[in-house]
Amino acid sequence: MTLSTAAPVAATTPAQVTRPHEAGSAVGTLDAARARSLAVEARIATDPAGFRVLTGERPTGALHIGHYFGTVANRVRLQQAGVEIFLVLADYQVITDRDEAGDLPATVREILLDYLAAGIDADRTTVFTHSAVPALNQLLLPFLSLVSVAELDRNPTVKAETAATGGRAMSGLMLTYPVHQAADILFCHGNLVPVGQDQLPHLEMTRTVARRFNQRYSAADPYFPEPDALLAPSPTILGTDGTKMSKSRGNTLPLGASEDETARWVKRARTDAQRAITYEPETRPEVANLLTIASLCTGSTPEQVADEVGGAGAGRLKALVTEALVEHLRPVRARRAALAADDGPDVLEILARGNARANEIADRTLADVRELMGMVYRHG
């Protein structure tokens, strides 16, 4: 592999690292994924029980408002619509691009508090960690046999993430984690994966693994579903510096932050030199971002918020955004504080239950896979 020569590109724009002759098909894939997402939304509305969602995140830190207004809101929406959801806290994926995973139990607890405060219901949604589900991880071995090194090498998101490590040699786990993600999704026969654009190549990999497994081992009666992507309907929230909100950039507002911290975060947020506030996402992304946040909190459109502020300028806009965030997040933060209190519930117990359920399902899937592959050795 020649990773040191990979172009340093933003992790969120895989299309940029696509070689020119592939660009057309990458765009085509995105259009196709958008069209499929719309069709899937219509099916969810009529048959929520026909779907099982698998999604999740790397436990690298507490969740921030970008997660809250984006992925988490979408999961809560699907959960309320009656779709069954599995959330993986991908602890093995934390060490794809770093040596130190940090204090994982503490981080996992923070994320569980964020989930519950935001409306994830542990009776309807299964939360689990990679490391607690051995049979899931074992699926990686047969799955790896179904893809070529050249295919692994081509993954634009893996390239971008490796480039973002600033010259670090790519680990084998980094190269293969998209296949591990296929195991995350397929162990529970997940057929729907809410994703941002950067995860589309991984979902394509999952569909490839499922298709090839079925062709090779269960052609008469396909064993794995080929999951659909559900492209995120909500906008990306930017950090104080105008780039995508990300813990490693130090530009985030954690969901559980205090009111003071919220005010300080808004104060730090970049705006521009133009006094009159207008909603122009292309030319004024930082101002548009603040308008979007206010809009998500108040239910007004970003244009309405812009009209309200008008010539009063960025100072007025920031006061309005702070107020909107504090008001909107007050009940979420109150719930979070109650859950986090010393006399609150043991949130890690929720994870123990989720891990038990995930193990039951993974054990069954692995037993089926061994059977289909002719790897059951009966005696006596």
**Which runs of consecutive H residues, i.e. helices, occur in 199-284?**
200-217, 259-268
Kindly report the backbone phi and psi dihedral angles of residue 48, in degrees, each rounded to the nearest multiple of 5, phi listed first.
-60, -30
Region for 166 from its dihedrals, namely left if φ exceeds 0, alpha if ψ lies in -120 to 50, beta otherwise: left
Binding to ligand TRP in span 327-346, by CB under 6 A? none
| Cβ proximity to ligand TRP, 67 vs 333, nearer residue | 67
Number of Cβ atoms within 10 Å of the Cβ of 207: 19
Interaction of residue 277 with ligand TRP, rule CB under 6 A: no
184 lines the binding site for ligand TRP (CB under 6 A):
yes
Q: Give 312: exposed, middle or buried? Use CB within 10 Å, 0-12, 13-18, 19+.
A: middle
Choose between 205 and 324: whose C-beta lies nearer to ligand TRP.
205
Asked whether the CA dihedral 363, 366, 372, 374 is positive or negative, the reply is negative
Residue 181 found at the interface with ligand TRP (CB under 6 A): yes
Per-residue mark of binding to ligand TRP, 246-275 (x: CB under 6 A): ------------------------------
Using CB under 6 A as the binding rule, whether residue 293 contacts ligand TRP is answered as: no
Closest CB to ligand TRP among residues 58, 109 = 58
Which residue, 54 or 140, has its beta carbon nearer to ligand TRP?
Answer: 54
Helices (H), the chain: 20-46, 65-67, 73-80, 91-94, 104-118, 134-138, 140-144, 149-154, 156-163, 172-186, 200-217, 259-268, 285-298, 302-309, 313-340, 347-372
| CA pair distance 274, 178, nearest whole angstrom | 43
Q: How many Cα atoms within 13 Å fall on the side-chain side of residue 92? A: 23
Q: How far is the CB of 170 from ligand TRP (least distance, A)?
A: 16
CA distances for 30 relative to 7, 152, 197, 207, 228, angstroms = 21, 20, 8, 15, 13
Residue with the CB atom nearest ligand TRP in the bound state: 90
Of the candidate spans 85-93, 283-291, 337-345, 365-373, the one that interacts with ligand TRP by CB under 6 A turns out to be: 85-93
Residue for token pair 């790397």: 58
Report the residue number, 147 or 326, with the smaller CB distance to ligand TRP.
147
Q: How far is the CB of 69 from ligand TRP (least distance, A)?
A: 16
Count CB neighbours of 166 within 10 A. Answer: 7
CA distance 319 to 181: 42
201 is an interface residue for ligand TRP by CB under 6 A: no
Among positions 55, 129, 138, 155, the unique one binding ligand TRP when judged by CB under 6 A: 55
Nearer to ligand TRP, 187 or 279 (CB): 187
Q: How many CB atoms lie within 10 A of CB 313?
A: 14
Cβ nearer to ligand TRP, comparing 302 with 354: 354
| H or E stretch covering 84 | strand 84-89
133 lies in the site for ligand TRP, by CB under 6 A = no
Cβ proximity to ligand TRP, 155 vs 289, nearer residue: 155
With respect to ligand TRP, which residue has the nearer C-beta, 180 or 333?
180
Task: Say whether residue 162 binds ligand TRP (CB under 6 A).
Answer: no
Residue 226 binds to ligand TRP (criterion: CB under 6 A): no
The C-alpha atoms of residue 174 and residue 243 are separated, in whole angstroms, by 24
Interacting residue with ligand TRP among 56, 70, 156, 239 (CB under 6 A): 56
Binding site for ligand TRP (CB under 6 A): 54-58, 88, 90, 93, 181, 184-185, 193, 199
